[in-house]
Amino acid sequence: MARKLVIVESPSKAKTIEKILGRNYEVVASYGHVIDLPKTKIGIDVENNFEPQYKVIKGKGEVLKKLKEKAKKASNVYLASDQDREGEAIAWHIFNYIKQPDKTRRIEFNEITKTAVNNAIKNPRDINDNLVNAQQARRLLDRIVGYKISPLLWKIINRNASAGRVQSVALKLICDLEDEINAFVPQKYWEVSTLIEKDINLNLVKIADEKVNKIFDEKVIKKLKKDLKNESLTLEKIEIKKKSQKPPLVFKTSTLQQLASSYLGYGASKTMRIAQQLYEGLPINGENKGLITYMRTDSTRISVDAINMAKDYITQNYGEKYVGKYIVKNSKSNVQDAHEGIRPSDINLVPDEIKGYLTNDQYKLYKLIWDRFLVSQFAAMQYEQMQINAVNKEYLFRGTINKVIFDGYYKIFKDEDEIKTGDFPELKEGSVHPIEKLNIEEGITKPPTRFSEATLVKKLESEGIGRPSTYASIVETLKTREYVEIIEKRFFPTYLGYEVKDELVKNFKDIMNVKFTANMEKDLDKVEEGTVEWVQLLRDFYSSLEKDIVKFEKEIDEIKTRRVVADVMDSEGNPMVLKTGLYGKYLISETNEKEKISLKGIPVSPEEIRKGEIFVKEAVEKLQNNKKGIPTDYFDENGVKYVLKVGRFGEYLESENYEADEKRMSLPLELKQKYRKGSVIELDGVLQINEEMKRLFEIDRKIIEEAGVCEFCGKPYEIKTGRFGKFLACTGYPECKTIKNIKTGKVTRVTEKEEKTKTKKAASKKTVKKSTSKAKTSAAKTKKTATVKKKKTTKKS
């Protein structure tokens, strides 16, 4: 009897599902996308209703061939790719390729558990054309923007410049915030509070019926001090209200990425990669189990079964009174309600009990998801709030005291916005209390904080830009394109990033408009709902874009033909001219083409370019001096002075007499970040780093001293820096390969046997790679010979 075939994206997902379904089913993987637009051209017939010219992805031909063969032999075929638009598109491409329409159906599930998978098999459906069209429209929109605009940017910026329908708006948000920070002017302010008997703290909230938070006028403070000196406050009103605090909602994609970044230090891509592993299934007690529900979702809905599962767990472990009496509902119109929030598939798989089956990263993320789901299903925290209003003349002070009635979810979790609680004091309205202390705190307003990965994702979501499946890729693109620099986990736009943003804002106002991009996302949602036709959506977008492209092309032609001279002279004393090449802007001598100066990293004013004369002499001289090294005040114990240089791997220190002593050292990470932020002091052209270097060396010396000697050979340790930061390594290397974790003190020793195994595996991989390379070369030669023979035969004929 023919077996039933189930097609999924990944081998690990296939392995988990095959164990659930049993031997009557064969579960195979497509290894992700199998068909897509071509890489070398736009691949869209704009004139023919935006017909996409799909191609089999390189390397996937054999995969598709096998899927087609297996589909022919199977009694039924189930397409079980992920339940979002992208998963639907993968299923649609496979459906069209295997050509078995009568026996092929689509199935979907939110979690890879026995119940969910078997229910999906019992309830198959047809491919959802609206979902496919929504994904197809998004893909084509992104392709049009990238392939139509990027080549234009190459002509006036460099080959690294590119446009992206969503990434470019994200870049604009980062640049706009940076402009806000640079334009920020700090102001001095004062905050006022009083302390009366029984340690009751009251904040100033009104002066003469006007609300007060921060006071920016020093005259007001002087008057206040005079008015309230040796005075008392009358308790005008005391009110007690009953309140409650609900627990945080279960995770959706954006909040998972934000909390994983804040609590675990994971980037968006790393979070989604680990979440994918947890979703697809891992071996637990000899059985592959999917540990969490689908992780690309903007829903916080929880199924009734999951609520009951949590209810049983909470009742058993904490008591029935701690069970929440509410069901979370979606509040946003664009939420894909077929999805649930991200939760454990089985709450009885307690993180600490299965820790031994998970990697450290998997355990941490699973625990974060498991804890959040459990907390979300707890009862609210109940409390009473006493509000105290106290007056003196025109000044109104207010304070609140909270008293817990029922701890609810506070029993297991208190977040950063924890409500401060205590007992109520005995107070009466109308009573008079002397001011024991008048607190006047002076402060200075601070500029906005730059985006971290977490806050950028939060901003994108709040603005309606992108969707759960796109947040991680947006962040990664900004980093890989070098539009941003990450310093102390914050986004700093680079000069290239600004250059790209400025050109796009100037020439493509719609694409760089936050509201326009958000509305486009809503239109894609309408395509999914079936209320907007995808071809018409593309047609409307393209007609507007085409006008901007034509206008921009004309401007580029003018720029390319314009002669722009610089205030930098060539060797003959003639002004050099500005050109744009493959790697960006540069200066060139008009009489000697070999005489060039790169302007990489040097801002060039667009206004100056339009006028035909740029002023970059000072910046060029500084750049050329920096190549020789920036003088520092640092000298080592031998009195050798060092200069700072920038190489392929960042900033480093080099001896002033490097050719003789060959002394070099990497700049400590803390100093690197300070230098990049521009917060290292420079006096008379000399970077002041000596004091900081000595301090950091002293910290390292103490770490080495506390570490003692190697537990195996008795030699001292030294500090090294690896992929994951600093660690202690035995100075007896290579004979002794012992390392020690600085934070935990855990010692790891690589034995001779392990080293041999490692070397053997590396050699094996190298051999396989070499063999593959030889095979490819051989195949290429055979193909070339066959082509030559064919040509000769044709010639003879």
Kindly report the CATH class assigned to 253-377.
mainly alpha
What contacts 280, CB < 8 A, 6 or more positions away? 10, 12, 13, 16, 112, 290
Note the helical H segments in 508-657. 514-529, 534-561, 606-611, 617-628
> Rounded mean pLDDT of 576-596?
91
Q: What is the pLDDT of residues 393-427, one digit of tens each?
A: 999 999 999 999 999 999 998 776 677 778 899 89
- Mean pLDDT value across the chain: 88
Sign of CA dihedral 419, 424, 425, 428: positive
Evaluate if residue 780 carries a pLDDT over 60: no
Domain spanning 138-184+449-558: CATH 3.40.390.10: no
Query: Is it the case that residue 588 has pLDDT exceeding 70?
Result: yes
Mean pLDDT, range 298-320, rounded to an integer = 93
687 forms beta bridges with: 632, 682
Tokens of 35: 């068909």
What does the pLDDT read at residue 1? 60
State the alpha helices, DSSP H only, in 385-513: 453-463, 471-480, 495-507
Residue 328 scores a pLDDT above 70: no
Cα distance between residue 676 and residue 112, in whole Å: 46
Distance, CA of 183 to CA of 38 (rounded, Å): 44
Place of tokens 């297991």: 412
The reply to whether 253-377 shares the fold of 4-127 is no
Distance CA 768, CA 497 (A): 41
pLDDT for position 338: 53
DSSP percent split of the chain into helix, strand, coil, nearest 5:
45, 25, 35
Q: In the chain, what are the domain boundaries?
A: 4-127, 138-184+449-558, 188-246+381-444, 253-377, 562-626
Residue 705, class by beta-carbon neighbours within 10 Å (0-12 exposed, 13-18 middle, 19+ buried)? exposed
Element (H, E) at 235: strand 232-245
Q: What is the pLDDT of residues 453-489, one digit of tens each?
A: 999 999 999 999 988 888 899 999 999 998 999 888 8
* Better-predicted residue by pLDDT, 769 or 48: 48
Q: What is the DSSP string of 100-141?
A: -TTTEEE---SS-SHHHHHHHHHS-B---HHHHHHHHHHHHH
pLDDT of residue 356: 93
Task: Confirm if 401 and 153 have CB atoms less than 8 A apart.
Answer: no
Residue 308 near residue 347 (C-beta atoms within 8 A): no
Of all residues in the chain, the percent with pLDDT exceeding 90 is: 68
**Is-catalytic flag, 266?**
no
Q: With 60 as the cut, is the pLDDT of residue 766 above it?
A: no
Any idea which residue has 């119940």 for tokens?
115
Question: Token digits for 149?
Answer: 């605009």
pLDDT band at 666 (very low <50, low <70, confident <90, very high): confident
User: Is 761 a residue whose pLDDT tops 60?
Assistant: no
Q: Using only C-alpha atoms, what is the Rg of the chain? A: 33
Q: What is the pLDDT of residues 55-91, one digit of tens each?
A: 999 999 999 999 999 999 999 999 999 988 999 999 9
Strand partners, 125: 106
Q: What tens digit of pLDDT does each residue of 223-246 get?
A: 999 999 999 999 999 999 999 999
pLDDT in tens, 269-296: 999 999 999 999 999 988 889 999 999 9
- pLDDT band at residue 554 under the 50/70/90 scheme: very high
Q: What's the pLDDT at 622?
A: 80
pLDDT band at 772 (very low <50, low <70, confident <90, very high): very low
**Strand-pair category, 575-581 with 565-569:** antiparallel
Query: Is the domain covering 188-246+381-444 a CATH 2.40.128.20 domain?
Result: no
CB-based contact 415:400 (threshold 8 Å): no
CATH class of 4-127: alpha beta
Choosing from 266, 294, 363, 586, which is the catalytic residue? 294
Q: Which residues are bridge partners to 718 per DSSP?
A: 729
Instruction: State the average pLDDT over residues 514-527.
Output: 93
Task: Kindly report the number of other CB atoms within 10 A of residue 654's CB atom.
Answer: 16
Element (H, E) at 54: none
Per-residue pLDDT band for 331 (boundaries 50, 70, 90) equals very low
More confident residue, 758 or 29: 29
pLDDT (0 to 100) of residue 712: 87
pTM of the model: 0.80
Give the largest CA-CA distance in the chain: 117
pLDDT at 674 over 90: no
**Residue closest to 376 by CA, chosen among 463, 242, 259, 241:** 259
Give the pair of three-digit tokens for residue 526.
């309408």
**Per residue in 624-637, pLDDT tens?**
877 788 899 998 88
